[in-house]
Amino acid sequence: MDPQVQQQLERFLSWLLDPRWFPETNRQEKEKFQNQLKKLDRILARMKAFSKGIPDVGLQQGVEAWQAYRGRLATFAEQHYRKAPHFEGGSPSKRLWEIPEQLLCATLILRYLHPREGAYERIRQFLADPTQLPWPVTVSEEAKQELEAGTFNRTMTASELNYLREGRDIPMRRYAISVKAIQSSVERLQDQINARKYSSRLAILQMQYARYLWSQKGQAGFSDAEEATLRELVATDEARRGRGPRD
């Protein structure tokens, strides 16, 4: 394999599997809504007791409106709020698939680079110990000097912004996930793709690679050679599984 292509894929892989991208439950946000729900329940109990037996349509409609609001707040209180230092925003439906997309791309790269090894197990190992990643994402020495000198003249990465604010990179952390959970996440996304309800695997690779280049290098778009490499990832995986091209 061309060493340049291998490094290109390994750097992309290291970005995809940076544990700081993977959100964890924000318990404070969850507790905030649960406390609000308890307060609302006390208010509702008093309103119901006060309005009981009073034939006032407006009053009863008011109680019903508060009851409906209580149902919406209960939904929020039951959700798991998740965040991560490098996590990007977007619509809730889009965020739902961001991590599965990254896991799918990482699976294709690992099957290409290490065809005799289990891709899901390798992903689990990298997330559990990010020091094993080929090229862990860090703030370069050049970027540090430019940030300190005030000569930085491109869009900052999340790590670079953190360095500017706090004088250090975002601390690396481990992310615990089982092989079964990784496989399930990738397969659910693959089922959506197979049912033509989601973008193709090639389109996902292209979008994620473009995000990687823009977020890390401020680079918009990529070369024909890089495009060919992404296509080869999909084609090679399909060929090894004995399937015709679907992407």
H/E stretch holding 24 reads: strand 24-25
User: Residue 85 pLDDT more than 80?
Assistant: no
Q: What's the mean pLDDT in 81-104?
A: 61
The amino acid present at 93, given as its one-letter code, is: S
| pLDDT tens, residue by residue, 49-67 | 888 888 888 888 888 888 8
Higher pLDDT, 24 or 238: 238
Instruction: Provide the pLDDT confidence category of residue 22 given band limits of 50, 70 and 90.
Output: confident
Under a CB-based contact definition with an 8 Å cutoff, are residues 99 and 22 in contact? Answer: yes
pLDDT mean over 89-118: 80
14's CB contacts (< 8 A; 6+ apart) are: 133, 134, 135, 136, 137
Better-scored residue on pLDDT, 82 or 209? 209
Helix ranges restricted to H, 52-118:
57-78, 92-113
Cα 190 to Cα 89: distance, rounded to the nearest angstrom: 23
Residue 246 has pLDDT above 60, yes or no: no
Mean pLDDT of 59-76: 82
Q: Which residues of 74-95 are buried (b: 16+ CB within 10 A; e: fewer)?
A: eeebeeebeebbbbeeeeeeee
Extents of the domains making up the chain: 3-23+89-136+172-240, 25-83
CA 34 to centroid of chain Cα atoms: 25
Q: What is the model's pTM? A: 0.71
Cα(35)–Cα(49) distance, rounded to whole angstroms?
22
Residues 6+ apart with CB under 8 A from 85: 20, 158, 162, 170
Q: pLDDT value at position 192?
A: 92
The pLDDT of 201-209, averaged and rounded, is 94
Lowest mean pLDDT, pick from 53-62, 73-82, 185-194, 214-223: 73-82
Per-residue pLDDT at 59: 83
pLDDT at site 29: 65
Contact 210, 222 (CB under 8 A): yes
pLDDT digits (tens, 9 = 90+) for 110-149: 999 999 999 999 999 999 999 999 999 888 898 899 999 9
